[in-house]
Chain A
Amino acid sequence: MSLIWAWLADPANWTGSDGILVRTVEHLGYAGLTLLLSALIGIPLGLWIGHTGRGRLVVVNLVNGMRSVPTLGLLFVAVLVLGPRLGGDLAFLAPAIIVLVILAIPPILAGAYAGVDSVDPAARDAARGMGMRPFDVLIRVEVPCALPLIFSGLRSAALQVIATATLAASVSLGGLGRFLIDGQAYRDYGQMAGGALLVAVLAVLVDLVFAAVQRAAVSPGLVPTTSRRSIRKRLVPDPA
């Protein structure tokens, strides 16, 4: 513990081009880019599958299959195959991001699919029966109702990606993983454990940010009434 504390408390470790601040920004950069790309692929695909009901089996198999892929092995394969063709900075960055995206898509896809799939069939039926076109039904009813599960998919992907982005360092990229790799190489256990702690703290902070965004974005009507009522009662006495 004292080793971790000593490492974290040393101001010299925080600044500079290989300091904690820069490494954290790098780490967030990898994770952010990964989540953006996976969301761009996973959410529309999940919504489409949920809306049309086509390809459910694909979702189940894909999600289970991708979960069993060894991420580190895949990363080395990707670097070996893609690296020589890309060159420069991209030689390592592109394979790392691709591998992380492959890791992040299953929970995001599954969340979006499950979100749409769990919409009350009666609400969907009523929407069609009132004359909404299929795209209106998706945008005005299914997506808003699916938001809680879309968020839970994103959040679990974010946690996984932040934890796993440490692997980027193993192919000579930056991020908080550097402290783990370098710490091990120099037998600097304070640095190693400190880096691990930072990754955990970062994951929790990012999850809190997502929770706040979710709270603002999801309709109060989709939050279970019991928790909402008690909150309301504490804030404003209900006149009724």
Chain B
Amino acid sequence: MINLLGVTKVYPGGTTAVGDLTLAMPTGQTTVLVGPSGCGKTTTLRMINRMIEPTGGRIEIDGVNTADLEPGELRRGIGYVIQGGGLFPHRTVLDNIMTVPLLLGWDRRRAKSVATELMERVGLTASLARRYPNELSGGQQQRVGVARALAADPPVMLMDEPFSAVDPVVREQLQDEFLRLQAELGKTIVFVTHDIDEAIKLGDQVAVLRVGGALAQLAAPAELLADPADDFVADFLGHDRGYRGLGFAAAPALPISAEPVVALGASAEDARRVAAGASWLLVVDDASAPVGWVRPSALSGRVEPSDLHRGGTLARLGGTLRAALDAALSAPSRRGVLVDDDGRLVGTVRAADVLAEIEREPGVRP
């Protein structure tokens, strides 16, 4: 548990970066600090490992006042990840990851075996171990940064906009892997971002800060979307709050219809016969995973990948209402495709049925 108790940072000259902030960050959870630039979120994060010294208040980690520890010792016990990774350009990937263990005086062999294991854990192939950071992509560098912070297995991790410097596709991958890793490791994480969608996706609790470092609202993501404390928080959350809130609502047992399918390579006649007059027909591959929709009436010859309409998203059975609704809305047939955990087709669901569930369930949006 990290406790900020009336923490204040006033710079010489009178600018208040953080004003009297009291905030509890529970053990094993991710607390996201989010807000516009100038809200003191990075300052707050950096006060936790004393990269910046507070001018008032106290910070306790598991009951220990951080001001009582030597800063180097405090920092070696806290994982630290920054934007772009902050890798040492003159060291190989493996040596970068071994930094903190070696600072702590581990022997090289143990540090190396831990580093090698961590590379795999964060999704880096072993062949990258001897590479230098300037030979890696942005996403790979960021993974090395995360592995380096995890190397000495610190209970607390501070992450300052770690995924901001990569393109949106890689960012989403890194976020998904962050969630997977955190589910395995259960660290106490303080995560700073300016991206509210990232905050909502990654946080167990989200602290929205306003300029001057005052806490505007502290809440779980679903609660934040459903019930913003004031106009500032509502504005900051942005559009589509109701729709995004559905992302936190597990889909109940939706009425699922069986969907007629053809395999790739089926003849046009078969497709038209299976479709039985319907204007869109679902196509699956050999493993019965949905690959796209075709218009049977437009087919000539066999069903080829080039005939496929691929606009439809897939929703996982037991996933969220948002995913189910989006699957229905994005499919050209308006029938949302549901798959199981292995990606095999389960059936389809209609938008009207999803909406009926949303209206029927009062608990969907707390």
> Which of A122, A222, A240 has the most CB atoms of chain B within a 10 A radius of its CB?
A122
B73 within 8 A of A: yes
> Are B72 and A131 in contact, with the CB atoms below 8 A?
yes
CA distance A129 to B82 in the complex (A): 9
Chain B residues near A222: list those with CB within 8 A.
89-90
Give B2 Cβ to nearest chain A Cβ, in Å.
16
> Are A122 and B51 in contact, with the CB atoms below 8 A?
no
B334 within 8 A of A: no
A93 within 8 A of B: no
B85's partner among A122, A219, A224, A229 (CB-CB below 8 A) is A122
Chain B residues near A122: list those with CB within 8 A.
82-86
Chain A residues near B134: list those with CB within 8 A.
221, 224-225
Residue of B with least CB distance to A218: B90
B365 within 8 A of A: no
Q: Given A130-B80, A130-B103, A221-B133, A123–B75 Cβ distance below 8 Å?
A: no
Residue of A with least CB distance to B93: A221
Given pairs A122-B86, A130-B149, 16 additional interface contacts (CB within 8 A): A122-B82, A126-B87, A127-B88, A129-B80, A130-B100, A131-B103, A144-B90, A145-B88, A219-B91, A221-B90, A221-B91, A221-B92, A221-B133, A222-B90, A225-B134, A239-B127
CB neighbors of A among B50-88 (8 A): 51, 71-77, 80, 82-88
B residues whose Cβ falls under 8 Å from a Cβ of A = 49, 51, 71-77, 80, 82-92, 99-100, 103, 127, 132-135, 145, 148-149, 158
Q: Given A125-B82, A221-B91, A131–B100 Cβ distance below 8 Å?
A: yes
> Are A129 and B89 in contact, with the CB atoms below 8 A?
no
> Are A120 and B86 in contact, with the CB atoms below 8 A?
yes
25 residue pairs from A and B, CB less than 8 Å apart: A120-B86, A122-B83, A123-B87, A123-B88, A125-B51, A126-B145, A128-B51, A128-B75, A129-B51, A130-B76, A130-B100, A131-B72, A131-B74, A131-B77, A131-B100, A131-B103, A133-B72, A141-B88, A145-B88, A145-B89, A145-B90, A219-B90, A219-B91, A221-B92, A222-B90
Give A31 Cβ to nearest chain B Cβ, in Å.
29
- Top 8 A-B residue pairs of the complex, sorted by shortest distance between their CB atoms: A221-B132, A126-B86, A131-B76, A219-B90, A131-B75, A129-B80, A122-B86, A144-B90
Contact with B along A178-221 (1 / 0, CB 8 A): 00000000000000000000000000000000000000001111
A residues whose Cβ falls under 8 Å from a Cβ of B = 120, 122-123, 125-133, 136, 141, 144-145, 147, 218-222, 224-225, 229, 239-240
Task: Tell me whether chain A's interface is mostly helix, strand or loop, or mixed.
Answer: helix
Chain A residues near B75: list those with CB within 8 A.
128-131
Chain A residues near B99: list those with CB within 8 A.
130
Chain A residues near B73: list those with CB within 8 A.
131
Chain A residues near B149: list those with CB within 8 A.
130
Chain A residues near B80: list those with CB within 8 A.
126, 129-130
A123's partner among B77, B86, B127 (CB-CB below 8 A) is B86
Give B72 Cβ to nearest chain A Cβ, in Å.
5
Chain B residues near A239: list those with CB within 8 A.
127
Give B307 Cβ to nearest chain A Cβ, in Å.
36
CA distance A127 to B158 in the complex (A): 14
> Are B132 and A219 in contact, with the CB atoms below 8 A?
yes
> Are B82 and A120 in contact, with the CB atoms below 8 A?
no
Give B346 Cβ to nearest chain A Cβ, in Å.
39
Chain A residues near B82: list those with CB within 8 A.
122, 125-126, 129
Give A50 Cβ to nearest chain B Cβ, in Å.
16
CA distance A131 to B105 in the complex (A): 13
CA distance A18 to B294 in the complex (A): 95
Give A29 Cβ to nearest chain B Cβ, in Å.
34
CA distance A126 to B46 in the complex (A): 11
Chain A residues near B76: list those with CB within 8 A.
130-131
> Are B89 and A123 in contact, with the CB atoms below 8 A?
yes
Chain B residues near A136: list those with CB within 8 A.
103
Chain A residues near B135: list those with CB within 8 A.
225, 229
CA distance A129 to B127 in the complex (A): 28
Chain B residues near A127: list those with CB within 8 A.
88
> Are A120 and B127 in contact, with the CB atoms below 8 A?
no
> Are B72 and A220 in contact, with the CB atoms below 8 A?
no
CA distance A239 to B91 in the complex (A): 22
CA distance A10 to B156 in the complex (A): 76
> Which of A147, A220, A240 has the most CB atoms of chain B within a 10 A radius of its CB?
A220
Give A59 Cβ to nearest chain B Cβ, in Å.
24
Chain B residues near A131: list those with CB within 8 A.
71-77, 100, 103
> Which of A144, A145, A221, A240 has the most CB atoms of chain B within a 10 A radius of its CB?
A221
Chain B residues near A133: list those with CB within 8 A.
72
Give A170 Cβ to nearest chain B Cβ, in Å.
44
Give A84 Cβ to nearest chain B Cβ, in Å.
50
Give B361 Cβ to nearest chain A Cβ, in Å.
45
Chain B residues near A123: list those with CB within 8 A.
86-89
Chain A residues near B72: list those with CB within 8 A.
131-133
Give B67 Cβ to nearest chain A Cβ, in Å.
16
Residue of B with least CB distance to A129: B80
> Which of A123, A125, A220 has the most CB atoms of chain B within a 10 A radius of its CB?
A123
